[in-house]
Structure 1
Amino acid sequence: MDAESARTALHRFGLGPRPGDIEKIASDPRGALLAELGTTDIAILDDADLPNTSQGFIAIRDYQMDRRLKRDTEKKVQAEMAAMSATGPSGAPVAPMPGMTAMAAGEIASAAPKPKADVPTPPSVPQAYYRDEIDARTARQRAVSIGFVERLVLFWTNHFAVQADKDEMVRGLAGAFEREAIRPFVLGRFEDMLVAATRHPAMLLSLDNAGSIGPDSRAGKKRDRGLNENHARELLELHTIGVDGGYSQSDVTAFARILTGWTFERNVERADAGVFRFQPNLHEPGDQTVMGKVYRADVDYPVGNEGQGLSILHDLAVHPATARHIAGKLARHFVADDPPQALVDRIAAKFTSSGGDLKAIAETLVRSDEAWAPGRKFTTPQRFLTASIRALDVDLEAQRVIQFLNVLGQPYWTPPSPEGFHDDAGTWLAPDGLTSRLDIADRLAQQAALASDPMAWTVDILGVGASQETVQAIRRAESARQAAALLVMSPEFQWS
């Protein structure tokens, strides 16, 4: 029995232990993690209430059109009423009714029916989808036994970060992006995830590629719009080879030309509305050179020029710099802000030898002794909230999750930049951040389903290695609520 390694498995690799979880995997913690990786379709999140991208796109567009129509109608009615109040049928000014004072007119106006103040405004369609997606993830995170795969989902979703505050459409489709472009490939091939993420409407909108037009394309010669380099730059700098990967500004521009025409169907009347579509009329014609390699324009125009993009994504997916970039991020996310170089090298080597097999890479991480060494990795806000919900057995609805993560500074799918959220201590370990965590810990503790013996419960969550200071503080707690808050605010809970 290795309870301390089981605690490490749950805190460092998983979503945090629930009561009894440490004991369940103590006989073979590494084996438990590897077994989770081998579970068929464990990353898939199917929910009949969650729309796919096409359904979500159509519903959001319909909502936006209805809102616009309602707004235009209201403006028209207001204008007509203003005109009627100013003039009579003949166009002459209308005099007030005899004996009607300004006060009386105001009283009549105030007597008109008004909406009840206590009736909450229903959420918009994009916001409703956003909430539903978070509800589904919160339920999944509470239910899984370890949560290693869910941690991988969080890692890769943040790696291919979309910004839900970009606009309503991105916000409404952010959850579908994770379900369709990340989860199916999180234990598959990196290249497949790269292509799926690059093509998804949420990403194409978030990084402005949906409206990027080749200057010499058929459409570019007719429209006053042109090339947008955002997506190409982030694909190089963030998603694949990294900022030190050896590319230049000219490579970014050439790559951006290759990606013109990579957009999606916006006509809601079509069966493929909201689905990726290559638009040859938007695509910049001709060969392009990126990092010394020429990507040819094929004779078969629609297929060949989409093939330009697929070819460069393949080359980036298998590039040695991509292996190093991904290996460093994985090691930093799970092990330490400054991870052992031997671990990074081993993950990078597996990335290369396996052709970007993400399951094999995750297995390499688990099997590496360096990943289990005592470390100091500070818990991010999302992980803190999820671990607290699991430890305290709290049923938290989406609106509260949104509220708490907004306060903590790490709302779902809303990083401050396309780089995604940082996961280092320097970003999150600050006095005001700890104060916010303490306040939220106290609120969660009010709902905690606590065991009768706080000390037994403490061992259940922190393991047998809890410090004397932590044990003493929880033992001296004045109430079960205070004990619960102290537990999730303990150093052992905050650091893995």
Structure 2
Amino acid sequence: MAINPSDAAAVTAFNRFGLGARPGDLNDAARDPRGFLLEELWTANVALIRDHAPPSGAEALQAYYLEQQALRAERAKMAAAAMQTAMLAPAPPAGPGMTAAPAIRGPSASPPPGPSAASPAAAKAEPPKAPASKPAVEQAQFLAEAQARLQKQLEARAGFVERLVAFWSNHFAVSVAKSGELRAAAGPFEREAIRPHALGKFSALLGAAESHPAMILYLDNQNSIGPDAAPGKFAGRGLNENLAREIMELHTLGVGSGYTQADVAEFARGLTGWSVAGPDSESGAPGGFAFKPNWHEPGPRKILGKTYAEAGVEQGRAILDDLARHPATARHIATKLVRHFVADDPAPDLVAMLAKRFQDSDGDLAVVASALVSDDRAWVAPRVKVRTPLEFVVGAARATGFAPHDPGFYLQALNLLGMPLWQPSGPNGFPDMSDGWASPEGMKARLDIAWAMGQRMRGGAEPLAVLKSTLGETAASPETVQAVSRAESREQALALLFMAPEFQRR
């Protein structure tokens, strides 16, 4: 399984740009490591999940809405039954010197005050739960999406495209921690907004991400009403700038690129009316994108010196298209790509080259990714980047051929390592700097997970063979080879391999 020392670039191809080699992969890539990555990159529909795909986002949200309606109906039924029981209950016997109160017999009588078990408040405080054997619909959707994603990552030839999908999913971050709706919609968001456009034009990716129900719900745009729109005047509800601000600060231009708070507010007005069709919506199928014209702030919008005419939903789209093509966006995206794949401190000349490719190709993301892996500077940089928890766990599974039938261990490992699936702490996503993952606490957690993975993945995996098939003869130091070969058990050997600096860094 060993590869020729002169072909060490194959290890870089898998570790720096991909998700780690599987048995036999290094030999396949050694002849032309860059071509190996580019072949995957230019494979038609390579990012899509087609086999056994979970339900669509709209279907997932519809199922969530239906379950919530059923739970509300059950709560109401239980509250009514409790009320009826209280009304028909016999009065307690009178004590000495007390007069017995007449039993409550009719529906017109009032229930006793206080938060008793029979009161609607108490019923609301303890809502019925789904049976333990059947997870809530949003959790079932989340698990199905997690399994589909994991399977795609394990089966990917190089994992370069899957790394790009994960990069863009983190760039347009949403969090399942916010609500049940987001727990149902986060997986479909990645499948429907990110995967189809991860190798296309950035303008298309941007438009798909910002108009997806998951993003609108996460950044509260469904509550944003133009101050001069009729509902805003009568309901006292106002403008929500979250979506507009995060688009400009995180998704396109970047901090310090010259936009102002006035630009953010104007953009937010242009996005009013962008919403999600609820269960009783009359403006679209439940769970899908909906534009509410009467919520949209009327009039032209002036952003970064350009005026956008009133055009309803198209006003927001026109602004997005211009932001996607702005030079500051090109620099921001190029910087993030180099930081993710190459070095925490991106080389200015490599960033400038990628930014130019971005602009010259009208934001063609496959062209930009191709330029990155075709540039020598991306290959010769020292291996100092620390694998993220996702890359670490998936890389270990690929190295040993471990393919779990459910995503439970994978999800638990990511939780313990501080990178729970689709659950960043904020809209800026998970950190992409090594110090975000290489803290003493983080490395201790990795050691625990490495030992757990060594136990789970030991079947059929001969540690030295795994080492050679993933690190070859060149990347593994003599100390690492010696430690793995002298381990007291197969489980310990695999854990030592997973914690080796050569495995942890890319």
Whole-angstrom CA distance in 2 between matches of 1:438 and 1:488: 8
Correspondences of 1:260-275 after superposition (within 5 Å): 260-267=272-279, 272-275=285-288
Aligned to 2:492: 482
- Using a 3 Å threshold, how does the CA distance of structure 1 residues 482 and 125 change in structure 2: closer, same or farther? same
Correspondences of 1:320-469 after superposition (within 5 Å): 320-373=327-380, 374-396=382-404, 397-449=406-458, 453-465=462-474, 466-469=476-479
Aligned to 1:181: 193
Aligned to 1:491: 501
- Using a 3 Å threshold, how does the CA distance of structure 1 residues 452 and 164 change in structure 2: closer, same or farther? closer
Whole-angstrom CA distance in 2 between matches of 1:48 and 1:426: 37
Contact 1:451 1:457 in 2 (8 A): no
Q: Tell me the secondary structure at the aligned position of residue 23 of structure 2.
A: coil
Aligned to 1:17: 21
Post-superposition Cα deviations, 1:96-149, rounded to whole Å, max 9, x if no partner, equal xxxxxxxxxxxxxxxxxxxxxxx8442111111000000011111111121100
Aligned to 2:44: 40
Q: Tell me the secondary structure at the aligned position of residue 356 of structure 1.
A: coil
Deviation at 1:49, TM superposition (A): 5.0
Whole-angstrom CA distance in 2 between matches of 1:69 and 1:47: 36
| 32-41 or 273-282: bigger deviation | 273-282
TM-score by length of 2: 0.89
Which of the numbers 283, 286, 290 marks the counterpart of 2:296? Answer: 283
| 210-219 or 148-157: bigger deviation | 210-219
Unaligned runs of 5+ in 2: 93-99, 105-130
TM-score by length of 1: 0.90
Which of the numbers 457, 480, 485 marks the counterpart of 1:470? Answer: 480
Deviation at 1:469, TM superposition (A): 1.4
Q: Tell me the secondary structure at the aligned position of residue 242 of structure 1.
A: coil
Post-superposition Cα deviations, 1:418-441, rounded to whole Å, max 9, x if no partner, equal 001112111111111111111111
Whole-angstrom CA distance in 2 between matches of 1:390 and 1:92: 74
Whole-angstrom CA distance in 2 between matches of 1:224 and 1:161: 30
Whole-angstrom CA distance in 1 between matches of 2:430 and 2:392: 14
Aligned to 2:109: none
Residue identity matched to 1:212: S
Whole-angstrom CA distance in 2 between matches of 1:382 and 1:34: 22
Whole-angstrom CA distance in 2 between matches of 1:125 and 1:213: 30
Task: Give the % identical residues.
Answer: 47
Post-superposition Cα deviations, 1:344-392, rounded to whole Å, max 9, x if no partner, equal 1111010010000000000000001111013311111111111111112
Contact 1:3 1:464 in 2 (8 A): no
Post-superposition Cα deviations, 1:50-101, rounded to whole Å, max 9, x if no partner, equal 111221111010011111111222222223223333439x97359xxxxxxx
Aligned to 1:71: 75
Aligned to 2:54: 50
Contact 2:226 2:239 in 1 (8 A): yes
Matched positions, count? 465
Q: Tell me the secondary structure at the aligned position of residue 145 of structure 1.
A: coil
Aligned to 1:300: none
Contact 2:165 2:198 in 1 (8 A): yes
Contact 1:450 1:457 in 2 (8 A): no
Which of the numbers 207, 212, 218 marks the counterpart of 1:195? Answer: 207
- Using a 3 Å threshold, how does the CA distance of structure 1 residues 450 and 459 change in structure 2: closer, same or farther? farther
Are 2:91 and 1:87 equivalent residues in the alignment?
yes
Correspondences of 1:113-132 after superposition (within 5 Å): 120-132=132-144
Q: Tell me the secondary structure at the aligned position of residue 26 of structure 2.
A: helix
Q: Tell me the secondary structure at the aligned position of residue 413 of structure 1.
A: coil
Whole-angstrom CA distance in 2 between matches of 1:275 and 1:486: 48
Unaligned runs of 5+ in 1: 95-118, 298-303
Contact 1:207 1:230 in 2 (8 A): yes
Deviation at 1:456, TM superposition (A): 3.0
Post-superposition Cα deviations, 1:181-204, rounded to whole Å, max 9, x if no partner, equal 010011100000000001000000
Deviation at 1:265, TM superposition (A): 1.9
Aligned to 1:229: 241
- Using a 3 Å threshold, how does the CA distance of structure 1 residues 401 and 83 change in structure 2: closer, same or farther? farther
